[in-house]
Amino acid sequence: MARRGPKPKFVDVPCPNEDCTLYGVTDEGNVIGNGTYMTKSGKVHKYICRNCGRVFCGRTNTAFYDLRTEDGGFQELQSTAKR
C-alpha cells in the first residue's frame, strides 16, 4: 500500500472555533486540508484544526454556509434587495 504523505497545511485559513486557542489566527500551520466536496457551484474545501480538532469547510462563517442554492442566486437576491 502506498504512503500518502502529510496533508498540506493552509496558512491563510483561520480556525473558526471560538473555544480554540488559535481562533482567528493565521500562519500557525494548525489548519490542514481534509479533502473537498462538490456542489452545484464547484468544489468546496474541507479543513481540520489540529489544535482543537474542529472539522469545517471553506464556507464556514460566511453567508454561503449551509445555503441550499447556487452562489449566483444568493448574490442576485442581495443586489435586488438593495434597489
- Asked if the model's pLDDT at residue 7 lies above 70, the reply is no
Segment 65-80 shows an average pLDDT of: 56
Grid cell, residue 30, equals: 494548525
Res 27 pLDDT > 80: yes
Please state whether beta strands 42-49 and 31-39 pair in parallel, antiparallel, or not at all (unpaired): antiparallel
Sorted by where each begins, the domain ranges of the chain are 1-83
Distance CA 71, CA 34 (A): 22
* pLDDT top residue among 64 and 58: 58
User: Looking at the predicted structure, is the pLDDT value of residue 6 above 70?
Assistant: no
What element of type H or E holds 78? Answer: helix 71-82
Q: What is the pTM of this model?
A: 0.65
pLDDT at 32 over 80: yes
CA 17 to chain CA mean position, Å = 12
pLDDT reported for residue 21: 92
